[in-house]
Structure 1
Amino acid sequence: MSGEGGSHPAGTAIAWIDGPTPQGTWGDPERLCLPLNDRGLLLADGLFETVLIEAGQPRLLAEHLERWRDSAARLGMAPPPGADRVRPLLAEAVARSGLSGTGALRLNWSRGSGSGRGLALPGPAEPQGRPRFWLQLSPWTPNSNPVTVIVSALERRNAASLVNRCKTFAYAGAIQALREARAAGAEDALLLGSGGDLCCGSSANLLLRRRGDWITPPVESGCLPGVMRGRGLALGLVREERLAVADLLESEAALLINSLGCRPIRRCGTTDLPVPAGALDLWKRLLVSS
């Protein structure tokens, strides 16, 4: 399974990075560069949001930017750019790339270049690093094909972690869980929280249907508070409840869902699961702004 639940059609990706001029720099994502002392590069000390683009317009941009801003505050970072800066850059990215269908916009915000090696941040009386903003727009086609999963035996989400409440650059655990799944002949991995409850997929929130209701693990499980998950809760289409692996295996249906796609789980390990009709309809309903 692709990490975000879709495919990369032929097309032109375009990227932009701020500095050294006020206008920033546009170019091929393979050619633009970060300074080697950027903390996002060295330490994964940064945040990102991935936004679905349809007909040149972002879906649920306000919700993504709110989570971006809240996460920056939570981690003691400067506030990231708002819609007044993001929207003009997106419009230019669409024009430069020639994107005519759907796309994926990734917004990146790092703490910036450090003053030396190591983890420590500058003290109040020391020169502060300047945060760095860059983005990339790529063609993208959402995918609702059913997926096979395993429950990772190697990686878990830390329910008490401050970082796990934020969408940071640090995805090494998810990458290793995905490697584990591929080695077992599956397409994705489900992660448990540190308490042993079901938590999420490698890059998506988990929904189970039980007695006709859609249920998702609470953030106390260690899952990321995903934008689509939050939409489901706000609309009353989804409710939170602690879930065990047995709940998944006995469920009426299960979905992996994020801002770029929604994929039913058709098998977990050796257990086949019912594949629901209308999963993509639920995803599209969540995409509609309030």
Structure 2
Amino acid sequence: MTPTTLGWHHGEWGSADTLGMPLSDRGLQLADGVFETVLIQDGTSQLLSEHLQRWQHSATLLGMAAPPARPWLEQLVDEAITRASLNTVGTTGAMRLNWSRGSIAGRGIGLPSAEPDPTQHRFWLTLQPHQPDFEPAQAWISVQEQRNTNSVLSHCKTFAYGQAIQARREAKAQGSELALLRNTNGDLCCGDSANLLVKRQDSWITPPLSSGCVPGVMRAKALQQGVVTETHIGPSLRADDQALLINSLGCRSLKQVDGMELHPSAEAKQLWQRLLLG
């Protein structure tokens, strides 16, 4: 029977709940690693090139060795899709590709002075069914958490999601599903796990990367296709704005932010599909 969440690590397939890894891994101990979440649709990995490019760039920014090369990885991805029975038309799933700095000898946060060694890093993947979400949502602008505009970590998709988790907890306590985050300059920059697109005066805009927002794959596609332009959003949304939170796994229109009613955009699913296929 296929496990609910399929996993692969160190040459072994199995359930993600039972596969093991060393407790000394820096990804586990220090959240020292980068990952990508790739949509699987109709038996095919979507936007894999874009995800792998960001994965490589993030590893370089953090002084890590390069993640596994695409030819080797594609074979593993294809096998995972087949093993998870997501290789037919109409099936969708979420695959996570993980790359940690591994179990470098010694305690603490220090790193060896030598060049990063890929054989000391660690790769694993998980794959599970996933249905893209397009339902309108309520959001809360976090008061407790802000993204650092000056941190290199803001430009990478790292294991360290503690801030996003706390922002989501804060939003839940306020009766909302999702959180929006301001940056250290006080401007809105993104959602807790998605990029922010705002339709203002009939034009779609999104905060620039200098805002500290995650360099999302779907955000980049929207810019490449001329769907959105970069500009600062300001500290809050306006009553006549429309807003979307978008990532590779779905697109949620916002119907309320901090108790202020917004008109949900009817373009969420259509826009997401356009970016995915364009």
Q: How much does 1:125 deviate?
A: 9.3
User: What is the percentage of aligned positions where both structures have the same residue?
Assistant: 51
- 2:75 aligns with one of 85, 88, 94: 88
What is the identity, as a one-letter code, of the residue corresponding to 1:271? M
Q: Map of 1:158-173 to 2, 5 A cutoff?
A: 158-173=148-163
Are residues 1:75 and 2:62 paired? Answer: yes
What is the identity, as a one-letter code, of the residue corresponding to 1:287? L
Match of 1:231 in 2: 221
**Paired residue secondary structure (2:56):** helix
Q: Are the structure 2 counterparts of residues 55 and 126 from structure 1 closer, same or farther at C-alpha, using a change threshold of 3 Å?
A: closer
In the alignment, structure 2 segments of 5+ residues that lack a partner are: none
**Paired residue secondary structure (1:94):** helix
Q: How much does 1:188 deviate?
A: 0.9
Q: Are the structure 2 counterparts of residues 45 and 233 from structure 1 closer, same or farther at C-alpha, using a change threshold of 3 Å?
A: same
Q: Are the structure 2 counterparts of residues 251 and 244 from structure 1 closer, same or farther at C-alpha, using a change threshold of 3 Å?
A: farther
1 CA distance for matches of 2:240 and 2:189?
Answer: 15
Match of 2:4 in 1: 12
Q: Map of 1:138-287 to 2, 5 A cutoff?
A: 138-246=128-236, 248-287=237-276
What is the identity, as a one-letter code, of the residue corresponding to 2:160? A
1 CA distance for matches of 2:238 and 2:165?
Answer: 24
Indicate if the aligned counterparts of 2:245 and 2:252 stay in contact, CA closer than 8 A: yes
Q: How much does 1:123 deviate?
A: 2.4
Indicate if the aligned counterparts of 2:186 and 2:235 stay in contact, CA closer than 8 A: no
Indicate if the aligned counterparts of 1:46 and 1:168 stay in contact, CA closer than 8 A: yes
Q: Are the structure 2 counterparts of residues 209 and 11 from structure 1 closer, same or farther at C-alpha, using a change threshold of 3 Å?
A: farther
Calculate the aligned-residue CA RMSD, in Å: 1.7
2 CA distance for matches of 1:266 and 1:139?
Answer: 27
CA distances 1:187-245 after superposition (whole Å, capped 9, x unpaired):
01100000000011100000000121110011111101100000000111111001113
Q: How much does 1:278 deviate?
A: 2.3
Instruction: State the structure with bigger RCO (CA 8 A, min sep 6), 1 or 2.
Output: 1
Match of 1:121 in 2: 111
2 CA distance for matches of 1:123 and 1:225?
Answer: 29
Q: Are the structure 2 counterparts of residues 157 and 35 from structure 1 closer, same or farther at C-alpha, using a change threshold of 3 Å?
A: same
2 CA distance for matches of 1:11 and 1:125?
Answer: 38
CA distances 1:85-117 after superposition (whole Å, capped 9, x unpaired):
221111111221212410001000001102011
Match of 1:36 in 2: 23
Q: How much does 1:126 deviate?
A: 11
- 1:59 aligns with one of 24, 35, 46: 46
1 CA distance for matches of 2:114 and 2:96?
Answer: 31
Q: How much does 1:286 deviate?
A: 0.6
Q: Are the structure 2 counterparts of residues 258 and 127 from structure 1 closer, same or farther at C-alpha, using a change threshold of 3 Å?
A: closer
Indicate if the aligned counterparts of 2:3 and 2:14 stay in contact, CA closer than 8 A: no
Are residues 1:104 and 2:94 paired? Answer: yes
TM-score computed with the length of structure 2 as normaliser: 0.95
